[in-house]
Amino acid sequence: MKYLKGKRMRLGLCLGLIATFIIGMASWAQTTMVADAPTAGDTAASVAAAADTDADTDASGQPAGEHLSLREGARKVVSTTGLAAFMSGQWRAAVMLVVGLVLLYLGVARDFEPLLLVPIGFGCLLVNAPFAGMGEDNGLLGLIYNAGIENDLLPLLIFMGIGAMSDFSPLLGSPRVVLLGAAAQFGVFGTLLGVILLNQLPGFDFTLKEASAIAIIGAADGPTSIVVGRRFAPNMMGSIAVAAYSYMALVPLIQPPIMRLLTTRQERLIRMRQERPVSRLELILFPLLILLVCIVFLPAAVPLMGSLALGNFIRECGAVNRLSNAMQNEIMNIATIMLGLGVGMQLEASQFLQPATLGIILIGLLAFSLGTAGGVIFAKIMNLFSPNNPINPLIGSAGVSAFPMAARVSTRVAMEYDPQNVLLMHAMGANVAGQIGSIVAGGVILALFS
């Protein structure tokens, strides 16, 4: 017993005994259920008669429901435990519980966008709990999904919040960075061609609409991915949404190697000029302008663009600060929690653990990488035509729509080579341009294939 003096050893022993007891009870319940099952020799009539008898009376002759033996009660309790479900064929749910815990670990311990990964991880745990019914129509997650995601309500509320938190002055002060937001959408349309080519391989058979829904991951825009995925690939929406939000959270890991690979040290040291001052009138008129342009030329994107413009207009007009604060805080926080839980609901084992899921995740990584590379390369091309006022190519990676993480990463990588070279405002200009660009890309796809 001298080996059991440590608290950890005693705790481990207790947990081991409890686990052994539960496993034994689950095995006994399974054995009992098998023994009670009708055999091949039983006739249909005898089985029906026995069922009628069991329905009216129990083993002691008492009316059903008024008497329950200790053995029968224990069997029923054990047979409805999660462990019994995992041992009786629902092992995929156990795998998804591990996935949910990994998402929570990344969000909490590694600080990878906890606002996204924590509710998604919890949604994954809840929907894969056996017998809980959390993902059913009347369950908590089912209600959230049907009331908030099925009708695009939560993604649009998220865009209102993003609009209320966005400052377009870096974009208006240096309008040329809008080209970086457009160039970063190369990942969307380049990946669309890649998915079509992937269909030539055995085991992959994506339709054109499904390919479009997968390709939008390249925009690194979670709400847009949900809106497009729900319309064109509802059976894959869980994988698409998780891939989009996961890559948004993993921006600090994915983007820096691509940025360093495509730039020289001299390019990373480029210091950009200060943008021109932007008037308040410009800031007020800009959301109205982009909304009117969208209404005239791309109505399919009006729900997304309109929500973004509404939030930004309320921020900039200054007449309704209470609404602006609510959009930035209470509404945004509630919508984020609800959307995360709704996305996590799509991680139900039978839907997520499919061969196509791995393809979606890999294609999503390709799309995001192409978007990052497209922005960096296009910044280098722009410098060929503007040698006297060059752009630091590192801000090209912020052209993806991962707001505001991509802008922070661009700034951090630049400061690794020159601590005095703060590119945050320039990168934010490219980042909000990418936000608009992702909406346009989603609208184009909706218009093409609706």
Looking at the structure of the chain, the number of domains it has is 1
Among 129, 82, 122, 130, which residue's Cα sits nearest to residue 102?
A: 122
CA angle 221–224–226, rounded 5-degree value = 105
Q: Confirm whether 204 is domain-assigned.
A: yes
SS3 271: coil
CB 237 within 8 A of CB 226: yes
Per-residue pLDDT at 6:
61
Q: Confirm whether 1 is domain-assigned.
A: no
Q: Confirm whether 228 is domain-assigned.
A: yes
Q: What is the torsion angle, in degrees rounded to the nearest 10, for the CA atoms of residue 355, residue 357, residue 361 and residue 367?
A: 100
Q: Confirm whether 120 is domain-assigned.
A: no
Q: Give the domain extent around 251.
A: 140-449
Q: Give the C-alpha distances (Å, rounded to integers) separating 231 from 188, 315, 336.
A: 17, 31, 21
Q: Confirm whether 114 is domain-assigned.
A: no
Report the chain (450 residues): mean pLDDT per 10 consecutive residues. 55 61 56 49 46 48 57 70 72 88 89 85 91 87 89 92 93 91 84 76 79 82 87 82 80 90 93 88 96 95 95 94 94 94 86 78 82 92 91 92 86 93 91 91 87
CB 399 within 8 A of CB 188: no
SS3 63: strand
Q: How far apart are the first and last CA of the chain?
A: 71
SS3 57: strand
SS3 38: coil
Q: Confirm whether 96 is domain-assigned.
A: no
CB 104 within 8 A of CB 124: no
Per-residue pLDDT at 314:
96
Q: Which amino acid is at 5?
A: K
Q: Confirm whether 53 is domain-assigned.
A: no
Q: What's the 3-state SS for 164-193? A: HHCCCHHHHHCHHHHHHHHHCCHHHHHHHH
Model-wide pTM > 0.85: no
Per-residue pLDDT at 27:
58
Per-residue pLDDT at 164:
95
Per-residue pLDDT at 230:
86
CB atoms within 10 A of CB 355: 8
Per-residue pLDDT at 63:
52
Per-residue pLDDT at 365:
83
* pLDDT tens figures, 415-429: 999 999 989 999 999
